[in-house]
């Protein structure tokens, strides 16, 4: 059960707004890679491409912060909140040092922990030894957020849709990392690439729809 006090409702709504905005941009960026949708969504793609790069650059940061706010307002366990937040920061550190653009931009927005030399060296050595570490780092915090949202009581359509989107996002992330981990040619085929892009697009669309309901929920008594 989540407290529905005014402050909690305000932060929850802010989280939904950030997820909504970020997911909209990310959905367009993912779906424009689908051949059969290219012409249909071209006006929207042109609009997104026309947005100032400084805004677009930190769209992942908006998504991460938005999900973080939902995490902290949809669960009453301080232990879980702090644990998942710390895991998320550690994951961003691993991904940022391993060259993930979204993580790097997020650190630049706040504090670039990757510039701390001993952390940089430690993570670099670990990534060199365990090739699958970046993928696991990307999956674990996202999956934990999914668990928090999916088991939230009382169940709301907003969190149900967002959590479904987050679960599909986990699968899409796995698919995006497979080409660098598996030698099979099927993971580099155009069909597989289209499937992964579609999964990303679907996950973000569900997050958009769920977030709209979440924002509207602010006016619910």
Q: For residue 67, which of 173, 177, 147, 174 has the smallest C-alpha distance? A: 147
> pLDDT (tens digit, 9 = 90+) per residue, 22-67?
999 888 888 877 777 767 777 776 776 666 555 556 788 889 999 9
What Å distances lie between residue 53 and 41, 45, 50, 140, CA to CA? 20, 14, 8, 29
Angle in degrees, CA 212, 70, 6, rounded to 5: 85
Q: For residue 60, which of 115, 18, 5 has the smallest C-alpha distance? A: 18
Q: What is the pTM of this model?
A: 0.85
Mean pLDDT of the residues in the chain:
82
Q: Is the pLDDT of residue 125 over 60?
A: yes
Q: Which residue has the higher pLDDT, 23 or 183?
A: 23
């Amino acid at each position: 059960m989540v407290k529905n006090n005014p402050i909690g409702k305000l932060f929850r709504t802010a989280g939904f707004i950030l997820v909504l905005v970020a997911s909209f941009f990310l959905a367009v960026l993912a779906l424009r890679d689908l051949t059969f949708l290219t012409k249909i969504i071209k006006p929207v793609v042109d609009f997104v491409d026309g947005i100032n790069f400084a805004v677009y650059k930190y769209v992942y940061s908006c998504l991460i912060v938005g999900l973080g706010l939902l995490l902290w307002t949809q669960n009453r366990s301080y232990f879980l909140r702090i644990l998942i937040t710390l895991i998320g920061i550690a994951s961003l550190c691993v991904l940022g040092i391993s060259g993930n653009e979204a993580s790097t931009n997020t650190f630049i927005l706040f504090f670039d922990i990757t510039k701390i030399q001993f952390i940089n060296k430690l993570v670099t050595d670990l990534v060199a030894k365990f090739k699958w570490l970046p993928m696991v780092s990307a999956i674990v915090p996202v999956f934990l957020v999914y668990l928090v949202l999916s088991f939230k009581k009382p169940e709301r359509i907003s969190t149900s849709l967002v959590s479904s989107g987050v679960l599909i996002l986990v699968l899409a992330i796995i698919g995006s990392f497979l080409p660098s981990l598996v030698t099979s040619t099927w993971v580099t085929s155009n069909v597989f690439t289209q499937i992964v892009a579609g999964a990303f697009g679907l996950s973000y669309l569900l997050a958009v729809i769920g977030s709209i309901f979440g924002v509207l929920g602010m006016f619910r008594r």
